[in-house]
Structure 1
């Protein structure tokens, strides 16, 4: 039989000891700390994710900003404004001295024997020149060495140095006059890396960022090293920024010193380094780095700095000059070479020493370099021209011909007609003459325009007795009575009327009274208040006699004279009253220059201009509105007027000008308005046409005649820029005539009491055998 087993009772568990409980149950504080740890870790990695996400988003944002800058237009390059390009060819009206002056202005070095680009040598009649390569409006011009020979008239020949082949035309590079700054006030001259001297690149990396090609935008070791040096010195003596960081700061950030700005700078530098090639970064830096201050203009980039400090292209700098540019980066103001030359030279020499220690210079090269002077341009010689009057005309013409948005484009190149040597001579003439004339009245003012006779371009312009003053431009904006400057157009009109008038035709010099439509009378007078009864046309012209001129003008008609003046380029309305025959016509020096340019150019009207070509950033020509031209005055009649104007200088009202330049044929005309309020002169030599006004802004009396005021300015101009004698080339339809000195009748050469004067063939019919004039039948049949 089985028996049921009863279960055994389990022994009751002993209560755990306090120490065991303490071991098995975690302490409240430990649990709490572990809980906080977990929470902290959770918060930390979540915050890290948020920060990383934000940093990623921010990096993408910065990347877009950087991409727009680097892959678009890095800079707004100011419009470069150039002078005319001097053209040299056989017969060119350029003297030996004028070419040398131009070369010096362009920064060419005079040497015994040219060995490289940018050098020339000169004898009394020759110039051996090694020209720089440059961008001409009609295409790029390579470097070239030529021999230029001169004679008494100007350029005799231009021959290539290598094969002695004669050249039809040879151009010098134009002078970079200025850059038209818009907006930010930054000035820059872009130079691609391949045209940057290698020594500048090597020195820059050596001095500013030795690990440039190894780091990725930021160099932590350089930052730590700089921090230790600065802490040791107790002040900031060394920076740890890479070239890429400096570029990021210059391109996108301010100069504020803060941790946030430094972090942003580092982040942008990393992005730039990741996205772009080292050479592209280097090129951007070389053209962006701040290099100094030219008054209100910030100078950026090595290319412009070369012009600013040394006045020459960067490719022509010597090694010590290149080293100085790198030296100046550290502190352009602190190392200003004009204010602190010793400090600047010490810094330059440090750069040279670093190059030597890096074995990029030999010891001999280093010694020669540190012993050389800084070679700076003269501080009082501006790096850009102050031409307020001319630049105002350039801006106006660009707006009229190319549209008002042109100057907003980056990198355009504007080629103008300005002759730098003529401008310099004009400014000196104005300054010296007005200083003398101001002893009469300190308020006297001046306006002056010079044109190039061959190109019809404005060669020089001065709008104030202080040529650099930027304000009211009297060369363009005044409207004052031109006085006797109108007379050549009265005589040109008469001489163009078939066979009615010659230079010998007698004109009445008797009292005359005219009435206008309102019944008012006008009785013109000669300057000396005398009357001679009758004078030859040429005499009346060269003595600027009023009464004979009015008689002549009334005979041919005021409307005919107005038409001639209008065709010659006069832009304002001409009042057709008798007083207009003596210059009661308001005009400016520019308007007078336009009309006299027509006289100087064989009667051909060509609209004056200040701009010849405009190229865009890619050097493609831009098409603007054209300039008008026409034959305004018959060539033969114009030749006679030119002859009469040469007699004004030889023995007329401008004879003091002729006496100052004996042996030189000049053409000119003086002008004085009523009560000597306005003093005028207009004239020309073989190269330039000039129009000058001297007077008071308030239209007060000056006590000056044309010969004592405006002509004095022109005479001073010719002393500064020696004139080239007019080449009086005969023209078709003009013959050498002989006229009776009393009656003005055409005579044979061998007749007595005759004067030799040029004449239109159609109007010259000499009397047969010094007797009666030919009949109409004899004229028709040839006698």
Structure 2
């Protein structure tokens, strides 16, 4: 090889890239690829974040509310009832109300500072009022600011429950301006002091936490910012890995770049996990306030606000019901940090640390277990709006449920059924209570264990209603005032009826005795069968069926004579419907469980209103109510009357053949109730209407003291006088007479007392 060739070869070898040049080339190429990958990944994450933040952040559960108590002059609401309602709503009793959520009370007045709330008819501002009472109920409602008397004043409804979506998360959304500033201050002090200074990630905090953890030999401190925690809660799992932490950091940087600190803070305050309510995850400060304290977040004390921030570190570890000392120590740490940062004075700090946390009772659930009522609500929502409504976020459903009536009904069922079970094993119950004035379902129990989610006997059973049908037989008769009055003598003699197939039916009274003749009112109040059949046949079975159907009975009724004694199958809800008509002066309104529905924008959805109709003439209905009051005073329900002396009540007992079904229906000035007690297998119970179902109603009234029926005379009704023997209309100065209400149009007393017999003979056609 020549020298030239060797030189050329050496030159070629020397001019090739060195190893570090190759490494550099590879590094910057890989860097470009890495930057591109990270950029594309960041763009991908940005789209995910934008979709979450700029769309619907959460699926907010449908909120279900009770009725809103309306207070106005003449309202049938007494002092104890309003006191109980305020306690249920979490109002604080004080000597002198100074802020929202407080009230004071004397024996006849209540001064109240009402919370602001969303009402179906519009936002209701906070307001301070004085409510006065008399023996009839509410006498006046005056605004404290100017002493002006208000026509109507509403309390906020009770939040009964939230219908949870499939993710199992539960929350009440609270906007940042509505959040107490102390909670925000404490949160930043405890969780992320540099929140307003960093860009989503705090390297110094991460480094500091790493040193502390390495020194301790375990994880004792975290370096995540609020933004990183939000990214993890929103988009990531709780897995501990480098990959997850890197992804969390990238997302935190993107979130901080795209959104303001206030937006991030609001999202965090409504997303943070705050505890576990059985199968439901409690998310956000708004729901946590209700979960731990049973009141809105704006009414929490400084101590309670500090606790909410304290529990973020570990809701299970700092569970205040299980570990009260641990929870209080953590709360006190938060309070100390607030004091050291001049957010609290020393005096405020001492007062807060010395105060109890003030938890709600662990025995009192924040969710009302109302399986029977909620089943009716959901069915009504489906009927009105279809199956998709409850899947929408943020829907608000306002119902007719009266929480105090529901509580009284449940207590009555539990206590009475425990007693009845000793006499008749395995008896069950169905109960419906309505609001006499609104026509809404106020309470419902479908099982002797009211929280049991199963067969709803208040709605689904079909059992013979027995003597509960009799008021409609007599209403059909009393409207024919030229033939029937409360004093009209009715035959009480053995009868036998034969149908077209040749089958015979011989109705009998319960005592198997006959009296020959009995006044209509006596037949009614003592629930006598044979006189009732005679009245029904005289009127016409078809007319009785028509009265029942007009009153709201929605099932077919066969027009056979046996229906006059209750051979008609129904449920407590069906009975409540027709007795609501009797209680409402003969006016039929279809019972409902929903008053309004608002969408996520708080706009009311259309509701088809069912018009009312007059099923029974008010004057005739008054006579029936009078007779039902006599049932309670001296008839088959006289034990009920004796239990509440001086209180005017209306009622009717009912028993099916062989004492298989025990029924009672009745009402006071406020509520109508229909109750069934019996066996699921339709076996004999040995219970009558007065010994079974009426016992439940009596217990209900002990829990919810009744308001006496006002029974104001209506147009067309007068106080008449009738001969006790013949039933003839008489002058008031005659002997052997009885005073009874009568229809004015047909009340024609005889000219003198001696003419009664011939007048009566003319009346009956003799």
Indicate whether 1:150 and 2:133 are aligned.
yes
Unaligned runs of 5+ in 1: 1-13
Write the deviation string for residues 9-61 of structure 1: whole angstroms up to 9, x where unpaired. xxxxx999x9xx9xx95897x988x5443333333222222221121111111
Distance 2:589 2:698 in 1: 26
Distance 1:677 1:450 in 2: 23
Deviation at 1:771, TM superposition (A): 3.3
Q: What is the correspondence of 1:284-299 to structure 2 with a 5 Å cutoff?
A: 284-299=267-282
- Given the alignment, which residue of 618, 621, 628 partners 1:635? 618
Indicate whether 1:437 and 2:436 are aligned.
no
Indicate whether 1:125 and 2:139 are aligned.
no
Q: What is the correspondence of 1:455-466 to structure 2 with a 5 Å cutoff?
A: 455-466=438-449
- Given the alignment, which residue of 433, 438, 462 partners 1:450? 433
Indicate whether 1:715 and 2:698 are aligned.
yes
- Given the alignment, which residue of 486, 501, 504 partners 1:518? 501
Distance 1:45 1:627 in 2: 76
Distance 1:760 1:498 in 2: 7
**Do the aligned residues in 2 keep the contact of 1:501 with 1:763 (CA within 8 Å)?**
no
Indicate whether 1:405 and 2:388 are aligned.
yes
Distance 1:200 1:744 in 2: 77
| Aligned counterpart, 1:254 | 237
| Aligned counterpart, 1:468 | 451
**Do the aligned residues in 1 keep the contact of 2:726 with 2:757 (CA within 8 Å)?**
no
Write the deviation string for residues 278-298 of structure 1: whole angstroms up to 9, x where unpaired. 100000000000000000110
Distance 1:162 1:44 in 2: 77
**Do the aligned residues in 2 keep the contact of 1:768 with 1:774 (CA within 8 Å)?**
no
Q: What is the correspondence of 1:8-87 to structure 2 with a 5 Å cutoff?
A: 34-87=17-70
Deviates further, 694-703 or 436-445? 436-445
Write the deviation string for residues 314-347 of structure 1: whole angstroms up to 9, x where unpaired. 0000001000000000000000000000000000
| Aligned counterpart, 2:158 | 175
Indicate whether 1:375 and 2:358 are aligned.
yes
Write the deviation string for residues 117-168 of structure 1: whole angstroms up to 9, x where unpaired. 1111111111111111111111111111111111111111111112221111
| Local SS of the residue matching 2:458 | coil
Indicate whether 1:92 and 2:70 are aligned.
no
Indicate whether 1:588 and 2:571 are aligned.
yes
Distance 2:147 2:481 in 1: 51
Deviation at 1:557, TM superposition (A): 1.4
Write the deviation string for residues 500-552 of structure 1: whole angstroms up to 9, x where unpaired. 11111111101111112222111111000000011011000000000000111
| Aligned counterpart, 1:417 | 400
Distance 2:97 2:537 in 1: 64
**Do the aligned residues in 2 keep the contact of 1:686 with 1:726 (CA within 8 Å)?**
yes
Deviates further, 368-377 or 619-628? 619-628
Indicate whether 1:307 and 2:325 are aligned.
no
Moved over 4 A (4+): 24-28, 773-776
Distance 2:309 2:578 in 1: 53
Indicate whether 1:201 and 2:184 are aligned.
yes
Indicate whether 1:727 and 2:715 are aligned.
no
Distance 2:571 2:554 in 1: 10
Distance 2:23 2:543 in 1: 102
| Local SS of the residue matching 1:772 | helix
Distance 1:775 1:77 in 2: 77
Distance 1:183 1:507 in 2: 63
**Do the aligned residues in 1 keep the contact of 2:723 with 2:756 (CA within 8 Å)?**
no
Write the deviation string for residues 430-477 of structure 1: whole angstroms up to 9, x where unpaired. 000001011123411101000000000000011111111111111011
Indicate whether 1:605 and 2:588 are aligned.
yes
Please tell me whether Structure 1 or Structure 2 has the larger radius of gyration of its CA atoms. Answer: 1
Unaligned runs of 5+ in 2: none
| Aligned counterpart, 2:85 | 102
| Local SS of the residue matching 1:326 | helix
Indicate whether 1:165 and 2:156 are aligned.
no
| Local SS of the residue matching 2:588 | strand
**Do the aligned residues in 2 keep the contact of 1:150 with 1:156 (CA within 8 Å)?**
yes
| Aligned counterpart, 2:745 | 762
**Do the aligned residues in 1 keep the contact of 2:465 with 2:568 (CA within 8 Å)?**
yes
- Given the alignment, which residue of 139, 142, 153 partners 2:122? 139
Indicate whether 1:698 and 2:698 are aligned.
no
Distance 1:152 1:599 in 2: 24
| Local SS of the residue matching 1:401 | helix
Indicate whether 1:748 and 2:731 are aligned.
yes
Task: Give the TM-score normalised by the residue count of structure 2.
Answer: 0.97
Write the deviation string for residues 553-579 of structure 1: whole angstroms up to 9, x where unpaired. 111111111111101001111111111
| Aligned counterpart, 1:661 | 644
Deviates further, 437-446 or 95-104? 437-446
Deviates further, 318-327 or 627-636? 627-636
**Do the aligned residues in 2 keep the contact of 1:767 with 1:774 (CA within 8 Å)?**
no
Distance 2:50 2:24 in 1: 37
| Local SS of the residue matching 2:461 | coil
Task: Give the TM-score normalised by the residue count of structure 1.
Answer: 0.95
Deviates further, 458-467 or 758-767? 758-767
Over aligned residues, Cα RMSD in angstroms?
1.8
| Aligned counterpart, 1:4 | none
| Aligned counterpart, 1:531 | 514
**Do the aligned residues in 1 keep the contact of 2:466 with 2:655 (CA within 8 Å)?**
yes
Specify whether residues 15 and 177 from structure 1 end up closer, same or farther in structure 2 by C-alpha distance, changes over 3 A only.
Answer: closer
**Do the aligned residues in 2 keep the contact of 1:401 with 1:626 (CA within 8 Å)?**
no
